[in-house]
Every structure is written in structure tokens, then in C-alpha cells.
Structure 1
Amino acid sequence: MKISEIRGLGIAELQIKKSELAEELFRLKIRHAGGQLESTTGLGRLRKDIARIKTVMKEKEAAG
């Protein structure tokens, strides 16, 4: 996700998106541990997306 897309979402939507991405990251980690995951680039992408969402959430909370 692009940061501009993330900034366009509300706090509730960000929380939902963060939980969805966390679930997907968990599933990919399980597949990676089982040797079924061919490419690990998705893991890094998801971690970065979650970090971006958390950053925007903090910015919005600080702004009030």
C-alpha cells in the first residue's frame, strides 16, 4: 500500500486493515516455516505495510 492510500483511511479502517495484514503475515510465516513459501518478499512487504499503518495511526491520534 502507498502511504497516500493509508492516509486517506480513517482510524477504524486502519485498525481493520492492520489486523487483516497481521493475519496474512502470520499465514505467510507459517508457510515459510513449513518450507512451502517460495518467495519471502511478501513477508517484508507486509511488515512494512503494517509499520506504515501504525505510523499513520499515531500521526492521526497525535493530531486529535
Structure 2
Amino acid sequence: MELEKIRTQSEEELKATQTTAAEQLFRLRFQKSLGNQEGIKKLRVLKLDIARAKTVLREREIEAEKKANPVVKNEAPAKSTRTERKKAKA
């Protein structure tokens, strides 16, 4: 499945796609263990589809977290007092 098509799906559709691909992957692995060599190329495609769906779901999760918790701008660290202490000793 193409990445653009995956990105346009809703979260429920992505989860359904992921579940379907995982089931197909399980069946193909089982057939492979029985000696059936048909569909071995499909294993790679299914793994990639699962990974793409998980990636898009995670990206959306991270984006939602960013919107919920805006990033606080980092301030400059406190000045070092080491040089001031050296000057005071001298």
C-alpha cells in the first residue's frame, strides 16, 4: 500500500489495515513452515505495510501530544559563579 494512501486513512482504518496485514502475515508464515513457497515476496510487502501503518499512527500520536503540551522555550543557563569566586579569593 502506498504511503499517501495510508496517510489519508483515519485511525480506525489504519488499525484495521494493520490487523488485516498481521493476520495475512501469520497465514503466510504458517504456509511457509509447511513448505509452500508461494507468496514469499508478499511477506516483505506485508511487513512494510504494518510498519507504515504503525509509523503514521505514532506520528499522529506525537502531533497530538505536541498540541496538548506546547514546548516551553529554553532559557539560557545560569551564569557560572566559578570565575567570580576566583576573583574574590585573589
Normalised by the length of structure 1, the TM-score is 0.93
Contact kept? 2:32, 2:40, Cα under 8 Å: yes
Structure number with greater CO (CA < 8 Å, separation at least 6) is: 1
Gaps of 5+ in 1: none
Q: Root-mean-square deviation (CA), in Å?
A: 0.9
* Correspondence for 2:2: 2
Contact kept? 2:28, 2:39, Cα under 8 Å: no
Gaps of 5+ in 2: 65-90
Q: Distance in 2 between matches of 1:27 and 1:18?
A: 14
Hey, which bits of structure 1, 4+ residues long, moved more than 2 A?
none
* Correspondence for 1:57: 57
Contact kept? 1:14, 1:57, Cα under 8 Å: yes
The alpha carbon displacement at 1:57 in A equals 0.5
* Correspondence for 1:32: 32
* 1:5-61, Cα deviation, whole Å (9 max, x unpaired): 000001111011100000000000000110113341110110011001100000111
Q: Figure out how many residues of one structure are paired with residues of the other and give that number.
A: 64
Normalised by the length of structure 2, the TM-score is 0.68
* Correspondence for 1:15: 15
Structure number with higher helix proportion:
1
Contact kept? 1:28, 1:37, Cα under 8 Å: no
Contact kept? 1:25, 1:43, Cα under 8 Å: yes
Bigger Rg, structure 1 or 2? 2
